[in-house]
Amino acid sequence: MAHKTTDPHDSLKKLLQVLACVSLVFLFSRCGSNPGANGPAVGTFSYIYTNLLHTACIECHVPTGAQNGATLDFTTQALAFQTLTASTVQGGASVGICATVKIVNPSSVTTSYLAAVLLPSYHTTNFGGVSGCTPYSVHLSDQHLTADEQSSIVTWIQNGAPNN
């Protein structure tokens, strides 16, 4: 029987191939994720609920909240999504003026009341083409949204306001 000589580079080549395969598996397993994030992806409803609605807005926007007449219910993510996407403006500051305006008008940030009450660049008179509709402005001064929160609201609405 002949003795087979092993090239020392063969072992190194095999090791490099294994490392390359492991690296590719790791890379593709993270596809679509937000590396380093500990929560929902920016631009999703889950992000908006977790980082804004459930933290900054929950004090008033629940059935037993501090704000009388606030009809938005952010008790759970499911209720918040339904409230925002299936309702028109209601409440003491808006009835009769903005009552036909949708709170979230999927794919249209410029006609979504949520954007108008939280983001100064969307807060206009005759909002949404409704004469006399000026969105409630208290949130512009009491909510200090981060750049990620602001862009998440805009992105989420522009993407059709999906329940993601």
pLDDT in tens, 130-145: 888 888 887 877 778 8
Burial class (CB in 10 A: 0-12, 13-18, 19+), 53: buried
Q: How confident is the model at residue 57 (pLDDT cuts 50, 70, 90)?
A: confident
Give this prediction's pTM: 0.72
Question: How many other CB atoms sit within 10 Å of the CB of residue 74?
Answer: 24
| pLDDT at residue 16, rounded to an integer | 43
Write the DSSP assignment of 53-112 as a string of letters. IIIIITTTSSTT-SSTT-----SSHHHHHHHHHH-B--STTTTTTTTTSBS--TT-GGG-
74-96 residue pLDDT tens:
999 999 999 999 988 876 555 56
Sorted by where each begins, the domain ranges of the chain are 90-164
* Separation CA 160–CA 109 (nearest Å): 10
104-135 residue pLDDT tens:
999 999 999 999 999 999 988 888 888 888 88
Cα 36 vs. chain centroid, distance in angstroms? 17
Least confident of 8-17, 42-51, 63-72, 119-128: 8-17
* Separation CA 130–CA 97 (nearest Å): 8
* 44 vs 93, more confident: 44
What distances in angstroms separate CA 122 from CA 37, 67, 101, 117, 146, one per listed residue? 29, 23, 14, 8, 16
